[in-house]
Structure 1
Amino acid sequence: MNKSGPPPSAPPSYAESVGGVPPSSPFVQPGQTIIVTTLVPPGPGPTHMVCPHCHAEIDTSIRSEPSLLAWISGGILALMGCWFGCCLIPCCIPSCMNIVHSCPNCKAHLGTFNSL
């Protein structure tokens, strides 16, 4: 029989196993509220998350803007002779647009979704 001692009561926490900051860290003051946020990758639609700037639970506000690919495609079309607005067609195609996410509360930039 191998008597190495009783098994541990619980597995180590993630912070203990990876070497995170323990709860008795000098960076945490007594009575200080700790807010832990998870970074959510922005998608093509509004994302439900906690804003890392104002710590409010929000659905991101989105706006679309032409991507670099749209501007390059428009430039190539202009060089090929499409002058009368046809060179702006790539700026209207949804798959050539970047989606910019921001906080509706504090207006902070939260991320950009590149469609291509």
Structure 2
Amino acid sequence: MNKNGPPPPYEPPPTAPPTYSQSVGGVPPASPYTPIQSFAGGPTIVTTVVPVGPHPTHMICPQCGTEIDTATKTEPGMIAYISGVIIALLGCWLGCCLIPCCIDECMDVHHSCPQCKAYLGRHRR
């Protein structure tokens, strides 16, 4: 028998399911949709975050809102530099260590908007 008196009354379950932060805790996952600020009361454009790859990517520029194929530029990445150092340590230091800087699979690809020249991301090898 309960010393404090009768048991508490039954509480009905909540009418709505718990929110993400109530059930899991913490910050909810980031949305893949990024709103672009509208100017002069115009419509708000919502774009998705598009992952960039080794080739030009078709997307809507988050800066200017234009539908584009990204402009790409390749630069030697970390793999090219590490490969060059390893080749130099193996004794091929008379120019052979620069070969990885000429191979596309060792290059990072930088993407930008051809319209507004905004930097859109990098694809690392």
Same fold (TM over 0.5): yes
Structure with higher RCO (Cα < 8 A, 6+ apart): 1
The 2-side partners of 1:84 and 1:78 are apart by 8
State which of 28, 36, 39 in structure 1 corresponds to 2:46: 36
Specify which structure has the higher proportion of strand: 2
What residue in structure 1 maps to residue 119 of structure 2? 109
Query: 1:82 is paired with a residue of what secondary structure?
Result: coil
Moved over 4 A (4+): 27-30
Equivalent residue for 2:88?
A: 78
- Asked if 1 retains the 8 angstrom alpha-carbon contact of 2:77 and 2:106, the reply is yes
Counterparts in 2 of 1:29 and 1:73: CA distance versus 1, 3 Å: closer
- How many residues end up aligned between the 2 structures? 90
Output the CA distance in 1 between the equivalents of 2:100 and 2:39: 53
Unaligned runs of 5+ in 2: 1-27, 29-36
Cα displacement (A) at 1:76: 2.1
Given candidates 52, 63, 68, the residue that maps to 1:53 is: 63
Consecutive unaligned residues of structure 1, counting only runs of 5 or more, are: 1-17, 19-26
TM-score of the pair, normalised by structure 1: 0.68
Amino acid across the alignment from 1:34: T
Query: What is the CA-CA distance between 1:68 and the residue it aligns to?
Result: 0.4
SS at match of 1:36: strand
Identity over the aligned pairs, expressed in percent? 58
Greater shift after overlay, 87-96 or 30-39? 30-39
Q: What is the CA–CA distance in structure 2 between the aligned matches of 1:28 and 1:36, rounded to whole Å?
A: 10
Report the Cα distance in structure 2 between the residues aligned to 1:29 and 1:54, rounded to whole angstroms: 12
Change (3 A) 1:33 1:77: same
* C-alpha deviation, 1:64, in angstroms: 1.0
